[in-house]
Amino acid sequence: MAKYVILNGELVPEPDAKIHVSDLGLRRGYAVFEFFRVMRGIPLFFEDHLARFQRSAELLFLEPAWTMEKIQQFVFQLVEANGLQEAGVQLVLTGGYSPDAFTPTTPNLIITEAEVRPYPAEQYEQGVKVITHRNLRELPEAKTTDYLMAVRLIPRMRSLGAVEVLYHDGRRMLEGARSGLGIITAEGVLVTAGSSVLESITRRRLLGVARELLPIEERDIPLEEFFAAPEVFILSSTRGVMPVTQVDDRKVGTVGPHTRRLMQAFRQHVEEYLAARASR
């Protein structure tokens, strides 16, 4: 079946979806995006992702030509046209065609299908390895297309057998290149970074179900506390909650009981969300 793309409100075959070379997203990396999963034909946590997409656009002073309600309709149109059941969808809003390669104009809206592959079950059972890098993203509150450091670090990450890069500022552990993070303290408290990070939809949803399981703190995570934590995990739209047992060359934590409960609680929350949407 031919794949389609939504380009500026029009459903077009993927090979015909093109934008001009003057677009500011290409020339200056000035663009925001959003990514979410489609499961059983249902966009997962779509309302949260759409709201974050709008906030990111506002932070870059980008005004799409369509309302968020209309963009939502575009997404459902793409899901239907491509027959999506298990996939990802990416929304991109660029700075538009700029006459001086610097000034934003009318944004271009691009909505595309993306492949989502399941992670091996043993990564959830045994935990994964991550590496660290000192890096503070520009405007971390906005989900922009600026993934320069993340892409640059791919060869190093893969050569070391890691699945993710965690950013820190020399004092605090912040977030993953493509994920949020959390720790469980020795006192059984769930801690996630409270500032200088992107608002993670998966983290927000997890915290909502975790409040009935253990105490929660949203605050800075000092490096010393991070490395001493009994349990560490990363989380994202594609990974869900994934335990971490090695950081660089150091063993950290275990796939402990709290993390296992959080993984199960989040999976149940996803199932309940899908069931509720399917019944509408």
Residue owning tokens 């105490």: 215
Instruction: State the average pLDDT over residues 7-26.
Output: 97
Structure confidence at residue 222 (pLDDT):
98
Largest Cα–Cα distance of the chain, in whole Å?
57
Strand partners of residue 32: 93, 144
Work out the pLDDT band at 280, boundaries 50, 70, 90: confident
pLDDT of 154-199, one tens digit each?
Answer: 999 999 999 999 999 999 999 999 999 999 999 999 999 989 999 9
- CA–centroid distance for 17 within its chain: 24
> Does residue 36 contact residue 49 with C-beta atoms inside 8 Å?
yes
> Does residue 104 contact residue 24 with C-beta atoms inside 8 Å?
yes
Work out the pLDDT band at 1, boundaries 50, 70, 90: low
Tokens in use for 70?
Answer: 């209309």
Instruction: State the average pLDDT over residues 8-37.
Output: 97
The values of phi and psi at residue 41, to 5°, are: 80, 5
The values of phi and psi at residue 277, to 5°, are: -70, -35
- What three-state secondary structure class fits 105? coil
Strands 190-192 and 216-218: parallel
Compute the 3-state secondary structure of the chain and give helix, strand, coil in percent, each to the nearest 5: 30, 30, 40
> Does residue 183 contact residue 194 with C-beta atoms inside 8 Å?
no
> Does residue 167 contact residue 152 with C-beta atoms inside 8 Å?
no
pLDDT of 87-124, one tens digit each?
Answer: 999 999 999 999 999 999 999 999 999 999 999 999 99
Structure confidence at residue 144 (pLDDT):
98
Residue 182, Cβ density class (10 Å: 0-12 exposed, 13-18 middle, ≥19 buried)? buried
Work out the pLDDT band at 74, boundaries 50, 70, 90: very high
Structure confidence at residue 2 (pLDDT):
66
Model confidence at 235: pLDDT above 70: yes
CA-CA distance, 35 to 115, in Å (whole number)?
A: 11
In the chain, what are the domains? 4-114 (3.30.470.10), 121-272 (3.20.10.10)
pLDDT of 124-143, one tens digit each?
Answer: 999 999 999 999 999 999 99
DSSP state of 119: P
